[in-house]
Amino acid sequence: MEFFNDFIANVGPWLQGLLEGIGLPEVWARVIVMGVGGIGLALIPLVAVIFLIWAARKLIARMQDRIGPNNSGPYPGPYALFQTFADAIKMLTKEDVIPTAADRWVFNIAPIVILTVAVLIWAVIPVGKDMIGADLNIGIFYVLSLGSGGMIALMMAGWGSNNKYALLGALRAVANMVSYEVPQILSVLTVVMVAGSFSMQEITKAQTVPFLFVIPVTALLFFVSSLAEVGRQPYDLVEADSEIVAGYFVEYSGMKFGQFYLSEFMNNFAISVITATLFLGGWKGPFVDSVPILGSLWLLLKSLLVFFVLLWLWGTMPRLRIDQMLNFNWKFLTPVALVNVCVVALVGKAVPPDADVWLRVGALLGANVLLALAVLVVLAAAGRLARRRDETRQAAQVEEASPA
């Protein structure tokens, strides 16, 4: 195990030395090493998604009392493990259809942009102790900024298709993402305030106690807004089949459709990994200091737990209307997120970072519990007021309908 740890830490310098030894200039050797590392990092989500698609199909089928995939053709394999590979081959071999009136450049570039954005997110995610593509000091800001790239890709797909249903789906997707980015960014701001850094690696190291148990309201706000960002139930209005016929990629087929489908699952898995990194301690866990490679295993287990919760909601929650979705964000999530930032800022001022760790954890947790109780009280009061208004309106209607 020690040899394996040393290999992971030294494989980059070893490869660079090997390239320089055969006469390659230092600059080009470094570029090749960085390129190999980038390809290796990009393969993580690409390979993981193949098995996550299979797992999602099987798990949701069990939740909805369906059979699910159980046959992959003449070579089914155990539990239809090859089903996703068969689907990938089918996508690659299907005809690529482009609408006659489409803007060909925009139409063709959109799936490339959205898949590129889905891969680039992984550059700053710490996949283990001292294992990260680029430890940027603005890592989480980099992740959030890439969301704008995905938004542009969706708009390109809807506009370039020259189809009113695709355009409507793109506008819904953009409205969804713009709305829910506000509470998501406010939640990340709260994490940064507590951790004292934008770096994903530093945020992980700052979690003596996982932030889920320190600022649970923030974790819930981030997870709910992230569900809307990736278009999962109950926020899958982007693909409301009965209304807008599969959304912004309705005109795509073959490999281009496969790119949208793949990027969608990659974003789901990325959100699970980011949630585990921000609120569950990331790669931190028992025995990581002595066996660093175990950090990747801990991160994987935590991410799969979050992904299971995401699938649970995906397979059981009903779909919201567009007005309900937007009202929930602007009238509930965003105000709560703003108040949460203010509460955490006040606690951080009262109990500075150099104070006792457990005192700071207790203060932040107590403030979050009080905030949650206050939100429940306000919701209960609003519910009672709404019921009284309905009763008054119904009484007035009965009185008008009764004979004089």
Q: Mean per-residue pLDDT for 352-374? A: 87
Q: Are residue 79 and residue 110 in the same domain, yes or no? A: no
Higher pLDDT, 79 or 302: 302
**Taking 70 as the threshold, does the pLDDT of residue 90 lie above it?**
yes
**pLDDT (tens digit per residue) in 237-265:** 666 555 556 677 788 888 888 888 888 88
In a domain, 388, yes or no: no
Q: Are residue 150 and residue 197 in the same domain, yes or no? A: yes
d(CA 260, CA 214): 36
Q: What percent of the chain is modeled with pLDDT above 70?
A: 86
User: Residue 346 CB: number of other CB atoms within 10 A?
Assistant: 12
Tell me the three-class secondary structure of 84-108, residue by residue.
HHHHHHHHHHCCCCCCCCCCHHHHH
pLDDT at 337: 92
Q: What is the mean pLDDT of the chain?
A: 81
50-58, Cβ contacts within 8 angstroms, sequence gap of 24 or more: 50/84, 50/85, 50/88, 51/84, 52/265, 52/268, 52/269, 52/307, 53/84, 53/87, 53/265, 54/80, 54/81, 54/83, 54/84, 55/311, 56/265, 56/311, 56/314, 57/83
Q: Are residue 43 and residue 135 in the same domain, yes or no? A: no
In a domain, 398, yes or no: no
Q: Can you give the residue range of the structural domain that contains 233?
A: 99-382
Q: Mean per-residue pLDDT for 353-369? A: 86
Sequence-separated (6 or more) residues with CB below 8 Å from residue 110: 153, 154, 156, 157, 160
Q: Are residue 223 and residue 89 in the same domain, yes or no? A: no
Q: Are residue 145 and residue 41 in the same domain, yes or no? A: no
Confidence of residue 4 (pLDDT cuts 50, 70, 90): very low
Confidence of residue 116 (pLDDT cuts 50, 70, 90): confident
Boundary (domain end) residue, out of 53, 70, 93:
93
In a domain, 309, yes or no: yes
Give how many domains the chain has, as a whole number: 2
